[in-house]
Structure 1
């Protein structure tokens, strides 16, 4: 049977608590049901939950859990002790827990506050006291709200040996501009992490601050000049006094003094003395009589040893008042603004040329140089890491610049030591010395390595030089440098190729976008069409030819974009009129004009449908629908038929031949595919008319077995035709027909509007186009 013994499952731990807050010390005893008590600094607090002797103490007991926590309310400095939890029946004692009570400091106090009166130029220590803190407070100073360093602190333990007073001192050097400036003291500790602070304001008393001006700033001798003395002070100014060359000017008691200037005003300055309760300030000025800079004392070259002090002298005179500056040649840093340049504990780096420069405003500039030489040990200025190519000839260079020059230069590398000025070692190493003028007169010692090997990169090279002031040493390492010429060339080649490809691609894209945009901007427009009725009684054949050419060009312009569609649709025509209309391409003039023409085209198949037309009128004026058709061989009296309907069918619909029989007063269907008729089968002045296709008319040639015809109106001598319009075919050059020169139309086409009146004779409908 396993026996469980009593033990602590949780012991009290060290804690910190701010004074006035609540704290709990933990204690849990496992497998224990006896008495549990707490001790404070070894003194038992009592048994039970309520500790009557300690009204702010209470044991928080939970029997089932074995918990006996100690609660302390409103912790005070007296609670800052060691606490222990004990189980006497089991002889158990917990570890001792330290309870630390934190006490915030009192409000800090700055001596002399809230306004501290100081004198400008007199050092002063601001003092801040923070009392009664536990642990000791940390004091921080702020100047106009910004942290400032330099304070010194001291602590003092109070009589209870637990609280501490801290005092901090901040040294300040007030100037006249510090009046109104604020200083803050902030005290913090663990009890008040945000801290407590107090602030004081400075009131700085100072002698007058004076600015002396002259008007005009540049004068000639005998001109009047006005001196103005501007001053401010704390406390207020009490009076002014003027002097020239140290001699008081009687009667000058204000801040403005006016007089005539002579040459003495250049060498004898005018001074203004201003005083108050604190002190006085005297300011002098020379009258501006112009002359350029004059060197009065020329500086002399100097040679000194290292760590010595040296003074360089230079004196200029000039007017307006000159500005004198000292700087080292090659540098812009101003070293001095007086006649003397003082250098303390010079080093070899201070050697060189120094420039004394005088500037007279608006007049001129003068400068002179002086050489400073510093004797010291050799200075080696070579690179500590140098490079060579494996298998090539390499060099390790050691440049020594010093005054005096080096007496001896020694190279040491691997197991080799070379002390001579020049020579060859092991046939691979050569040492040479030179004095390159470009390097400033120093000594250059060069260690040359023939056929650089791997071992040469693993060694360091010691270059040591001696002169009377001691040695100078530099350790140089040699690193391998790859020959990257081929790689660079290859990289440049690839990069240029990629850039060229990108450039060409951009050009192609730009060209494509421009071309695409220009296509989107093209708009097809209809040509304006004008229809005129022209009386054509007598025209020459040459005029007809000109009209034909003009009409042909216009028709080409109108119909050429649709040529391919017409050829395709002509193969898809069906036997019925509706089918032909379905595949018909729309008229570019939107059906406003019906173009009727006779063409001498290639042979086309005749229509297989019978078509009856009611617009035929016989020469004798016979009314009715379909008239009787009789064969006629005569020229003038033959009845002529227009086999085309008056409806607005497309030109392709008219392109089908309709075959009629010449018999008995009615039209009959002809054979499906009649052979081409010979010229003798038709009257000399009348024939069937085939319509024009939508293709350009000039694209067709005359079949060899057809006679040539022109379309027009019958001559006026044919009286039977006066009753109504009819179309006749006149042979061109045919001996049996009338001549074309008198009666023929001026063109091979007759253009008729859908509302044209067929009763007008001896006129043709001619379409003229104007674009």
Structure 2
């Protein structure tokens, strides 16, 4: 038993002399680099090996199964430093230097040395084509992606020299190997038109990118809807009616290709597809909104102007004649339109006194002398003045103005007319023939129609294919609440002029025309010779009488020929037939052959 004790004591003494002089330290390295893990041993007895995550690499100093590994140093000096070339991801592990056990000694291990391998990420990429199409004013996310980094790469944004730190977001994703990571970063931008061509840079880096940062960039193609400007010649704020106006629209946009449309108010002007619209404007264009619309693939933009078209005054309604009794209050109206607003004046006909300057003329407590014709004049500078006559009529009994004798040819369609003037208009017009009421429903050849006039009524009997029985006496009766009137009309047969008379009349007319032409030629020759002698005839007026009818002849000779103006003076003896007949002079409703009193 003594010899065993001595042997164990000897072995203990020998083991205590075999020690690690230098143990490996934790190490870091970049992918592809070379690192050294030192291991030095004093009084080595056994064999030395290295383990990676507990797996032995072998005792041969050349480590043939691991071509990137080998032991460096002097074996005699106990140097067993592990050199790892071309660091790979698998080298990211725990390493130990180990003295292997023998029959008499147990194995020995150094502490674990943690080897950390830094792997730079792949070159980052920005999603989308270069340049990226963005819309001005619309938020857009630029996306940058960097993969396979260890540790996770950090992504930063810039516009070249200026960093961009606002509105950035990122996420980190672990890969299946549990060591590498991917990073995605978003940059939210709101591009402006001025950002056209701007480049954004994304830079990726981690501990593995020392000295060689990785970055990529992308440019912006800023798209924006058309910015439209409009030029109007002449100035749209003052355009005269009938003027041709040229509207020119121009657009700045990206893309620059645009299509054009034109609108008047909300209605599209079909066929107008260019940036120029030429339009002759009238009063209907006054106040109209004229719009041009430019469209590209981003959107549409409109530009508009409102036209101020100056146009001549015009009456928008016919004259509204007014009937009244003495003492009534009345309003005369003159409905007129124009641009600018017309100037209005009211006067009584044949008077220069201005009575009002508004569209309505108010007369209070009218007197008998106030009845008559009033003139509304409307004017705008630069346009012709217009005027309208409005009658203020005195209410009274009706007066029939038709001629007492009317005729028609046998076999033709005959007409018997009864024209009644009064204010108010007649309520009824009754017809009798030869003392008997006419039943128009029973007489198929007789048709009766009535026409309302501004200050009266006309009743007409049309007789189809006039026969002998249709000629005779017709009686027309009218009534309007102020009184009544009756007229007996003799309907006679119109004589047919023989054809030979017609031919003779035509021949005589032709002869007279020839004679007049000869006289005119002779006169001009004599006039030419007399003017050469310096003679001059001044204008004179000679009053003459012919068959008791007074008339006045005015003549004036100057240049070529005489200018005659014959104005027959009619007697006023029949004016008392109707007190206010002057008010109707301009209504022009008197039938052919009738006399207006």
TM-score (norm 1): 0.33
Of Structure 1 and Structure 2, which has the larger fraction of its residues in strand? 2
